[in-house]
Amino acid sequence: MSIDANWQQIQQRVDRAAKRSGRAGGDIDVVVVSKTRTVEEVEAALRAGVTELGENRVQEAEAKHAEVQLPARWHLIGGLQRNKVGKAVEIFDVIQSVDSKRLVDTLQRRSEAADRDLDVLVQVNTSGVGHQSGVEAAGIGVLLEHICDCRRLRLRGLMTIAAFSDHGPEVRRCFRQLRQLSEEHAGSHGGLDVLSMGMSGDYEIAIEEGSTMVRVGTAVFGPRPQ
């Protein structure tokens, strides 16, 4: 199927999943993950109606961002090393992978130097797997408070990557935990409107569990080239 046809199919599936959770499809933002994809593929997706792009690596995004001519909102969804923060602040509109106070401090300093505001999400490790990125649930409150003290950073919400499992209940548990954490901390941190959870293989489950933003790549572009 073409990128355009894939995008239309995703919109239909998002609509159906949203209705199952008592919402409308328009309540869900779809970030299309463009890592390893060519500029031509990215622009085809933007012409099809995509407005949000996600990249995993700053270096790859830098080259692509310079060549893509169509407007888009750029999200960093992969881990961010502090020595890449300056370039990330130039390229991205949203950093979804904030997971430490040191990274927050560097983002604030670089955003101040660049004279721009930056939307951020806190990445939470809901899978319990040690090698996966994200702050543990017990540490969320302190990190959220630290972000709120940074005048150039706009705290928007939380992000997670569910357990890599074929066991549906375990995947659903990860998403449910993030939603519960958002509800728990929203009152004391000005509202956490964004729940970024769900990827190409599980985004419908994520929407059923309250996701407001999903991240899909292969569902739009097809399998990545080997």
Say if strands 94-98 and 73-76 run parallel, antiparallel, or are unpaired. parallel
pLDDT at position 182: 95
pLDDT at 64 over 70: yes
pLDDT at position 226: 64
Residue 191 binned pLDDT confidence (cut-offs 50, 70, 90): confident
The phi, psi pair for 28, rounded to 5°, reads -110, 125
pLDDT at position 132: 78
Q: Which two tokens stand for residue 90?
A: 């130039």
CB 112 within 8 A of CB 106: no
pLDDT at 53 over 70: yes
Rounded-to-integer distance, Cα 51 and Cα 112, Å? 26
Average pLDDT over every residue of 127-134: 81
Q: CA dist 11 to 52, 63, 193, 206, Å? A: 14, 29, 21, 15
pLDDT at position 224: 78
pLDDT at 166 over 90: no
Residue 96 binned pLDDT confidence (cut-offs 50, 70, 90): very high
pTM over 0.85: yes
pLDDT at position 134: 94
pLDDT at 16 over 80: yes
Write the DSSP symbol of residue 137: G
52: number of Cβ within 10 Å = 18
